[in-house]
Amino acid sequence: MLNALNIAPPDDGFAVRVSHLNKTYQGKTGANQALRDVSLNIKAGSIFGLLGPNGAGKSTLINILAGTVIKSAGYVEVWGTDLDTNARQVRSNIGVVPQELNIDAFFTPRETLEMQAGMFGVPARERRSDDILELIGLTDKANAYARTLSGGMRRRLLVGKAMVHQPPILVLDEPTAGVDVMLRQRLWSMIKTLNNAGVTIVLTTHYLEEAESLCEEIAILNHGQVITQARTVDLLSGAGTRQMIITLSAITANDVEKVRAEWRRLHPNLATPDMTLEGRQLHLRYDPKLVMAGAIIMTVGAAGLTVEDISTREPDLEDVFLALTQN
């Protein structure tokens, strides 16, 4: 098995350090500031999620780390190397797996890795193509033409291409975009395998379930700024709201207003929970630190409604994401 992390981690324990990073693009219509005073630290050996809506600045940040975009201002350090001091070494310290399937259909996986290693200047005796094929689960397809590979296999081959120079950091840009659920699960398993082999993973994704499942820590960008960086468990625990779904024997929009009126009568000092009606289900969002579930159930009964079923849902990363990026 390939030991991808063949150099010691930096003394401070961070794979990536970014401080007060800015990037401004100059266009015909004027300046566009893609990144605004971005600061974040990514721990070596972790799986780190980089989230944000389209246009938030994720791609610009990744491209600066990869050396394909020049920053306007700020400090960038990748695996202990200052970008301003040694940009070439920074590029060697990171591998980027793009979302696009840029693979030559008439090369085999082994040929693809060998050619990519040559482009990175890796001497033949130091190439680890077979080890990489094993790590990404393509040993049995090593000599098959890439055009015969499934979509999932091609995505895994993209990961292999990014690993030919054995970088300690891999950036996976939307690795499961457009794939089915089963393939997504297989790719998740491969990402965990890579991380267990010592690779620091930086993951951008629009699938919040993916970030919640894989990432130990998350940064959320919006309008070019980091609006939060925290451990995933801390983001979820601080989400605040909980959802209760009450299925009723019968309910109308007028009944929902009765529930609101009863809440104001019974709990005049508490804010009324958010309520939406879907069929016979009343969906309520509330802060469990301020409101007891029993108080909600009692209020529904006081409004004259008959409860058939009750379920609750803890906040997930989608709740956090929406709350932080809705403005």
What is the domain partition of the chain in residue ranges?
14-237, 242-314
pTM: 0.75
What is the predicted pLDDT for the residue at 327? Answer: 60
Distances (CA, A) of 67 to 64, 77, 95, 194, 198: 5, 12, 11, 23, 23
Q: Which of 254, 224, 246 is nearest to 61 (CA)?
A: 224
Q: Which residues in the chain land under pLDDT 50? A: 1-5
Q: Between 3.20.20.210, 3.40.50.410, 3.40.718.10, 3.40.50.300, what CATH number should domain 14-237 receive?
A: 3.40.50.300
What is the predicted pLDDT for the residue at 286? Answer: 83
* Domain 14-237 identical in fold to domain 242-314: no
DSSP assignments along 36-85, one per residue: EEEEEEEETT-EEEEE--TTSSHHHHHHHHHTSS--SEEEEEETTEETTT
CA angle (288 as vertex; 290, 325 as ends), nearest 5: 100
Amino acid occupying residue 247: T
Instruction: For residue 94, give both structure tokens.
Output: 């990171």
Report how far apart the first and last C-alpha atoms of the chain are (Å, whole number).
46
Q: Is the domain covering 242-314 a CATH 3.30.70.100 domain?
A: yes
What is the predicted pLDDT for the residue at 200? Answer: 95
What is the predicted pLDDT for the residue at 1? Answer: 38
| Residue 203 near residue 190, CB atoms below 8 Å | no
What is the predicted pLDDT for the residue at 3? Answer: 45
What is the predicted pLDDT for the residue at 326? Answer: 67
